[in-house]
A and B are shown apart, each in its own frame.
Chain A
């Protein structure tokens, strides 16, 4: 049976990148549709009426929304290749916990860095570094968060690395100086072709953030 897969996405979106990586890991062919978020397509509004957000994975006409839900769906449907989640229930629970930690902490801390200045920005920088250090602790000496193999938590966190250049430039700090092991992990992951072809260019992300700041009057 031939699958028809469409991804509604936006180039700089770290959430979209998660789905791109998962699709690449499974070797799935799909149609990529770039959304203009200031002028959302009727297709996006129809496929995600609740949140009206990207990414949306459309599989044989049926939409799956929320990036981590999409990654799990991809893992379950195309289960014969490159498992993204461990098989044991306890390890699966750990993986979901850490992916959820990334969702709860990293986006908001990062956003505060490029939307604020002075005291507020300092606090945001410290918050981000603290959270990244917790993640570094969880990674430990493992090559990937998944252990020997690249997996769910790696996919959840990795796209945020494309926004590090923007955070560092606008916040005037170095993430590598604070979290060298984490950056080593980023570079290790980027050696995988599935990752390097799915991640967006940090300089283009930075340009995008500058544009957003202008729009928001920052």
Chain B
């Protein structure tokens, strides 16, 4: 086990893996990344360290596995307390967990409905997705980050998912910026952070991934 005993089982296009990488980056924790071939064959290590879901990301800290991306980010925040990713007060933390849960329930599934459907269904999916982003805009308000003045937990939970927006925009025939300019400004602000920009893949590459997924699901 190299690098402070921290290893991350990863997949380059996974917005959930991006969460873990950004959190580790924010804490300045060095880690060994192991890219998993999700379509070719998952490694023995992945299957044995996450037997229930068999998914990435998996964080291994001194060989002990932590799974589920939001859980991993919370663990990283608690195991390496500085700088804190969560607000100091309990109510602020409850709000952060609430929005992280909202993001987990709505964004990836909402976006998937866009690239998986056509015609009338696609229109509905697109409008629902925009509504979800508007709710998040409401939560962001006038703040620089969802966490307040500083980049934090909710920002980390959300920003990786935005790397898939280019694909949603392409297949949905819309632009997030036209409907949610505040949200788009927040994306740009986060992308200026090194911990974010070095792990977010090029949107065009993610789009190619989505094209492949569409084929696999028999869309068009």
Task: Give me the interface of A with B, judged by CB distance under 8 Å.
Answer: 50, 59, 62, 64-66, 69-70, 72-73, 76-77, 89-90, 92-93, 96-97, 100-101, 134
Interface 1/0 per residue, B79-120 and A, CB below 8 Å: 100000000001101100110011000000000000000000
Known A-B contacts: A89-B75, A97-B68. Give 8 more (CB < 8 A).
A65-B98, A66-B97, A66-B101, A76-B90, A76-B93, A92-B78, A93-B66, A97-B71
Task: Find chain B residues with CB under 8 A from A59 CB.
Answer: 91
Please determine whether B91 and A69 come into contact, CB atoms closer than 8 angstroms: no
Please determine whether A62 and B91 come into contact, CB atoms closer than 8 angstroms: yes
Task: Find chain A residues with CB under 8 A from B78 CB.
Answer: 89, 92
For residue B135, CB closer than 8 A to chain A, the reply is yes
| B119-153, CB < 8 A from A | 135
Task: Find chain A residues with CB under 8 A from B135 CB.
Answer: 50
Please determine whether B71 and A69 come into contact, CB atoms closer than 8 angstroms: no
Task: Find chain B residues with CB under 8 A from A97 CB.
Answer: 66-68, 71
- A134 closest partner in B (C-beta): B52
Given the known interface contacts A90-B61, A90-B75, the answer about A69 and B94 at a Cβ–Cβ threshold of 8 Å is: yes
Please determine whether A64 and B94 come into contact, CB atoms closer than 8 angstroms: yes
Given the known interface contacts A76-B93, A93-B66, the answer about A69 and B75 at a Cβ–Cβ threshold of 8 Å is: no
Query: Chain A nearest CB: distance from B27 CB in Å?
Result: 13
Interface 1/0 per residue, B4-28 and A, CB below 8 Å: 0000000000000000000000000
Please determine whether A90 and B101 come into contact, CB atoms closer than 8 angstroms: no
Please determine whether A64 and B101 come into contact, CB atoms closer than 8 angstroms: no
By size class, the interface of chain B is 20 to 34
CA distance A77 to B90 in the complex (A): 6
Task: Find chain A residues with CB under 8 A from B54 CB.
Answer: none
For residue B64, CB closer than 8 A to chain A, the reply is yes
Please determine whether B97 and A72 come into contact, CB atoms closer than 8 angstroms: yes
- Residue with the highest number of chain A CB atoms closer than 10 Å, among B66, B72, B98: B98
CA distance A89 to B98 in the complex (A): 20
Please determine whether B71 and A100 come into contact, CB atoms closer than 8 angstroms: yes
- Residue with the highest number of chain A CB atoms closer than 10 Å, among B78, B90, B93: B90
Interface of A (DSSP majority class): helix
- A89 closest partner in B (C-beta): B78
Task: Find chain A residues with CB under 8 A from B94 CB.
Answer: 64, 69-70, 72-73
Which 7 residue pairs are nearest across A and B when measured between Cβ atoms? A89-B78, A76-B90, A73-B94, A93-B75, A69-B97, A89-B79, A64-B94
**16 A-B pairs, CB-CB below 8 angstroms?**
A59-B91, A66-B101, A69-B94, A69-B98, A76-B90, A89-B78, A90-B61, A90-B64, A92-B75, A92-B78, A93-B71, A96-B68, A96-B74, A97-B71, A100-B68, A101-B52
CA distance A64 to B78 in the complex (A): 22
Task: Find chain A residues with CB under 8 A from B98 CB.
Answer: 64-66, 69
CA distance A50 to B138 in the complex (A): 11
Please determine whether A90 and B91 come into contact, CB atoms closer than 8 angstroms: no
CA distance A62 to B95 in the complex (A): 11
- A75 closest partner in B (C-beta): B90
* Residue from B64, B71, B91 within 8 A of A73 (CB atoms): B91
CA distance A180 to B93 in the complex (A): 38
Task: Find chain B residues with CB under 8 A from A89 CB.
Answer: 75, 78-79
Please determine whether B74 and A50 come into contact, CB atoms closer than 8 angstroms: no
Task: Find chain B residues with CB under 8 A from A76 CB.
Answer: 90, 93
CA distance A64 to B90 in the complex (A): 10
- A131 closest partner in B (C-beta): B52
Please determine whether B71 and A96 come into contact, CB atoms closer than 8 angstroms: yes
Query: Chain B nearest CB: distance from A57 CB in Å?
Result: 9
- Residue with the highest number of chain A CB atoms closer than 10 Å, among B93, B94, B97: B94
Task: Find chain B residues with CB under 8 A from A96 CB.
Answer: 68, 71, 74
Please determine whether A69 and B101 come into contact, CB atoms closer than 8 angstroms: yes
CA distance A125 to B72 in the complex (A): 31
CA distance A92 to B74 in the complex (A): 9
Query: Chain B nearest CB: distance from A101 CB in Å?
Result: 7
| B24-67, CB < 8 A from A | 52, 61, 64, 66-67
Task: Find chain B residues with CB under 8 A from A92 CB.
Answer: 74-75, 78
